[in-house]
């Protein structure tokens, strides 16, 4: 047999093998055809995620053209008649559309950003007011006067004891003096990047008010809005931290929450109850429908002649819309309302009300309107929870286990409790990875806490609160308010008990984005397919978790301004360079380090030698000792001494510009470098540096159109 004959036979066998594999893949796709449509929003979201992960316009354009070429190739290969090619064609188009939509949205919302920090005086119209009672602050969103030479939308925070701040309302004209800065970037690698959110919100500067604020002509009446009045009324009826939670449930106003209660709710896994979203909107819509059906069914004529379900669904839709408007129409609430309306539409046309297809449709609507929500924790947490719940209760094993039977009350109760516990565990598992990625910590006992708190909130607290508000119109709400107080006190007490329990919180340093993406993809794979291939997703989840867990904690963390440094000690804790760092900075550093505890002072480290101006310390690395020098004051130092000290150390960290002659052996992280890299995470096993600015260097909020600080305040007529 000649060589050419052998090559021909080999190619023939390879071609036949490929055809068999493609045929098997196509047969499998036919078997999963009911699930294929669920992957369209996943592909669309992948396009949005690719836009956030790729470095800039050239990469975005290349990615779009690649997806377009893939779609065209699939079409030319017979997408009209071949299911596999059709799937590739649709997926490529969905990915392309996702990238295009977020790219277009980022360009549509583009607005100038303040170029540099400045103390300015200006006139503005108030477009938003948020009272943060627990922090003793009032946050204003302002539209500055056109002649103020400021970004078109800014956010300024005042202390609540500032003159006239208590009477400022939306649409008021005000004049004020404030210290403004550009929207802050992430202070540490993996930290919260407010500049990204500010870009899509159109906010070009943030800051704090200085001195009094004066209302000008053209303001609205000096009366509280409905939301503010209702929030105050509730907190007058329900006292303490429970009153703040009651106000949050009814109006979405979380400003009354104190730091201790807020932390307890977060550590116990109950923080989602404070954000008006799916649970709250569902309770309002379902409660309204149930009540309307019971009332309308009292009339035999209506029960026999009118479509009561449709009428009740319409009433539920109106109640959900009113609740959304009352709570401020935040994006999570609007998103939940859209999902509820889709459920009502399914009921109206006689389709299955709760299904994965309905969730996919809701996700698609949200991503079309707010594609930037994909990378935020709110979207991920809400859709992960509801997808996990629907997938769990749609599984045949679970359906058989929880199906109603002709059995005694005790067994029915145990079966219901088992269903609640299973649901809580599945939701907790689904949400834990998201919490670890965004917040670097997650509650371990949240499933048990939610098993009590969710039914208590849905069936006791919210109905009792709605009844109390209604009865207050005739002065008879006191008994209902008593029920609300008792129930909320019990829930808050449980939150503190769970939060304080040993091992209640799991902490993790910054998780690699690729590991998180692998976990999410594995979860979707396991939840959306129906055949046995779905269990391959568990392998992807396990691999992603192992990847995230094996990441070594950073040895040194440096904030983007160079002022704050956290150093890992031998026992696993961290020490701060500047002991007077605020709570917000301490929380950021602790989360990035993956610890749940207090940060000590660097002066307590045995290897540290500190003066009021500088600290020098040593740390063990791979086969050697590393020496660090960090500035902790802004006082001028002798440059010759600094240059000599730099030559003796491996790393220099400073919030100032160090002399040109300062040449440490490895890294010089002074103001010049940090202004380009942002915060740094430094590891010594092996030596590595991660910069906060690297993932978003090519994003529009990293290189915005800037606007110079304004001219002096023009005269504004007094009110």
Q: What are the tens digits of pLDDT across the range 473-484?
A: 888 888 889 999
What is the average pLDDT across 4-10? 71
**Average pLDDT, rounded, for the chain:** 84
How would residue 181 be classed by pLDDT, with cut points 50, 70 and 90? very high
Q: Beta partners for 627?
A: 618
C-alpha pair distances (Å), 487 with each of 113, 275, 296, 428, 440:
46, 18, 30, 23, 31
pLDDT bin (cut points 50, 70, 90) of residue 154 is: very high
Measured in whole angstroms, the distance separating CA 282 from the mean position of its chain's CA atoms is 21
Q: Which residue has the higher pLDDT, 467 or 424?
A: 467
The pLDDT-based confidence of 649 (bands split at 50, 70, 90) is: very high
Q: Is the predicted pLDDT of residue 710 greater than 50, yes or no?
A: yes
**Is the model's pLDDT at 612 over the cut of 60?**
yes
Q: Which residue has the higher pLDDT, 685 or 95?
A: 95
Does the pLDDT value for residue 514 go beyond 80? yes
> Tell me: the pLDDT tens digits for 299-317?
888 877 788 888 888 888 8
Confidence check: pLDDT of 718 > 50: no
Query: What is the Cα–Cα distance from 69 to 48, expressed in whole angstroms?
Result: 18
pLDDT at 134: 65
Would the pLDDT of 637 be above 50?
Answer: yes
Name 130's Cβ contacts closer than 8 Å, sequence gap at least 6: 138, 139, 140, 141, 255
Which residue intervals of 2-111 are DSSP H helices?
3-31, 33-36, 39-53, 57-76, 83-108
Q: What percent of the chain has pLDDT over 70?
A: 94
- Judged against a pLDDT cut of 80, whether residue 166 lies above it is answered with no
* pLDDT for 582: 78
CA angle 288–294–300, rounded 5-degree value: 140
Q: What is the pLDDT of residue 279?
A: 67
Lowest mean pLDDT among 58-62, 98-102, 172-176, 587-591: 587-591
Would the CA dihedral through 199, 203, 208, 210 be positive or negative? positive
pLDDT in tens, 43-100: 999 999 999 999 889 999 999 999 999 999 999 888 788 888 899 999 999 999 999 9
* Alpha helices (H) along 202-258: 226-237, 240-251
CATH architecture of the region 113-223: Beta Barrel (2.40)
Residue 713 has pLDDT above 50, yes or no: no
pLDDT band at 224 (very low <50, low <70, confident <90, very high): low
Q: Is the pLDDT of residue 711 over 60?
A: no
- Cite the DSSP H helix spans in 575-625: 583-593
Per-residue pLDDT tens digits for 108-129: 999 999 988 889 999 999 988 8
Mean pLDDT of 236-243: 86
pTM for this predicted structure: 0.85
Residues 539-566, mean pLDDT to the nearest whole number = 90
- CA pair distance 196, 454, nearest whole angstrom: 32
Residue 8 has pLDDT above 80, yes or no: no
The whole-angstrom separation of Cα 480 and Cα 263 is 28
For the chain, domain boundaries: 14-108, 113-223, 513-549, 556-696
- Rounded Cα gap, residues 296 and 260, in angstroms: 45
Strand locations in 145-266, DSSP E? 154-159, 173-181, 205-209, 214-215
């Amino acid at each position: 047999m000649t060589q050419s004959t052998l090559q021909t036979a080999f190619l023939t066998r390879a071609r036949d093998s490929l055809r068999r594999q493609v045929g098997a893949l196509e047969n499998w796709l036919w078997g999963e055809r009911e699930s294929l449509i669920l992957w369209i929003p996943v592909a669309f979201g992948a396009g949005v995620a690719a836009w956030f992960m790729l470095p800039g316009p050239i990469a975005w354009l290349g990615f779009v053209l690649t997806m377009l070429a893939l779609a065209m190739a699939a079409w030319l290969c017979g997408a009209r008649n071949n299911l596999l090619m059709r799937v590739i064609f649709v997926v490529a188009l969905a990915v392309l559309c996702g990238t295009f939509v977020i790219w277009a949205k980022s360009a549509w919302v583009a607005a100038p950003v303040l170029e540099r920090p400045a103390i300015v005086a200006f006139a503005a119209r108030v477009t938003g007011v948020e009272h943060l009672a627990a922090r003793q602050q009032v946050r204003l969103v302002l539209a500055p006067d056109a002649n103020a030479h400021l970004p078109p939308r800014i956010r300024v925070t005042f202390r609540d004891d500032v003159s006239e701040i208590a009477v400022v309302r939306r649409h008021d004209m005000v004049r004020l003096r404030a210290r403004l800065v550009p929207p802050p970037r992430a202070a540490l690698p993996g930290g919260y990047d407010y500049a990204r959110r500010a870009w899509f919100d159109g906010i070009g500067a943030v800051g704090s008010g200085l001195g009094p604020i004066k209302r000008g002509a053209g303001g609205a009446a000096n009366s509280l809005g409905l939301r503010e009045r209702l929030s105050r009324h509730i907190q007058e009826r329900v006292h303490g931290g429970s009153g703040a939670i009651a106000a949050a449930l009814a109006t979405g106003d979380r400003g009354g929450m104190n730091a201790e209660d807020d932390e307890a709710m977060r550590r116990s896994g109950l923080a989602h109850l404070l954000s008006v979203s799916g649970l709250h909107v569902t309770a309002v819509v379902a409660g309204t429908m149930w009540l309307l059906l019971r009332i309308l069914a009292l009339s035999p004529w209506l029960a026999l002649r009118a479509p009561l379900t449709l009428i009740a669904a319409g009433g539920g839709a109106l109640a959900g819309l009113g609740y959304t408007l009352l709570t401020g129409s935040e994006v999570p609430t609007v998103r939940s309302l859209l999902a509820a309306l889709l459920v009502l539409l399914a009921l109206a046309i006689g389709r299955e009300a709760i299904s994965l297809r309905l969730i996919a449709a809701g996700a698609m609507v949200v991503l079309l309107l707010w594609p930037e929500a994909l990378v935020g924790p709110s979207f991920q947490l809400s859709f992960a929870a509801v997808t996990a719940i629907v997938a769990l209760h749609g599984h045949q094993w679970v359906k058989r286990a929880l199906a109603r039977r002709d059995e005694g009350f005790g067994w029915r109760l145990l079966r219901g409790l088992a269903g609640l516990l299973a649901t809580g565990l599945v939701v907790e598992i689904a949400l834990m990875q998201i919490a670890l990625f965004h917040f670097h910590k997650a509650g371990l006992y949240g499933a048990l806490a939610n098993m009590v708190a969710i039914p208590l909130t849905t069936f006791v607290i919210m109905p009792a609160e709605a009844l109390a508000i209604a009865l207050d119109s005739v002065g008879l709400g006191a008994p209902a308010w008593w029920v609300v107080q008792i129930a909320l006190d019990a829930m808050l007490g449980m939150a503190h008990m769970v939060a304080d329990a040993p091992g209640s919180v799991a902490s993790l340093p910054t998780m690699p984005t690729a590991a998180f993406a692998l976990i999410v993809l594995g979860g979707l794979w396991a939840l959306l397919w129906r055949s046995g291939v779905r269990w391959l997703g568990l392998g992807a989840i396990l691999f992603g978790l192992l990847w995230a867990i094996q990441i070594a904690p950073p040895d040194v963390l440096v904030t983007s301004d160079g002022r704050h440094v956290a150093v890992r000690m031998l026992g696993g804790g961290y020490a701060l360079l500047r002991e007077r760092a605020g709570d917000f900075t301490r929380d950021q550093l602790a989360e990035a380090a993956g610890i749940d505890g207090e940060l000590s002072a660097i002066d307590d480290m045995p290897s540290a030698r500190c003066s009021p101006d500088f600290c020098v310390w040593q740390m063990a690395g791979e086969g050697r000792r590393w020496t660090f020098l960090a500035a902790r004051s802004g006082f001028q130092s002798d440059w010759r001494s600094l240059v000599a000290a730099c030559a003796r150390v491996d790393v220099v960290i400073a919030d100032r510009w160090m002399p040109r002659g300062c040449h440490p052996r490895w890294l010089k992280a002074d103001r010049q470098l940090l202004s380009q890299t942002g915060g740094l995470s430094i590891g010594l096993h092996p030596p590595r540096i991660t910069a906060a600015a690297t993932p978003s260097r090519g994003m529009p909020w990293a290189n915005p159109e800037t606007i110079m600080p304004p001219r002096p305040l023009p005269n504004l007529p007094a009110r």
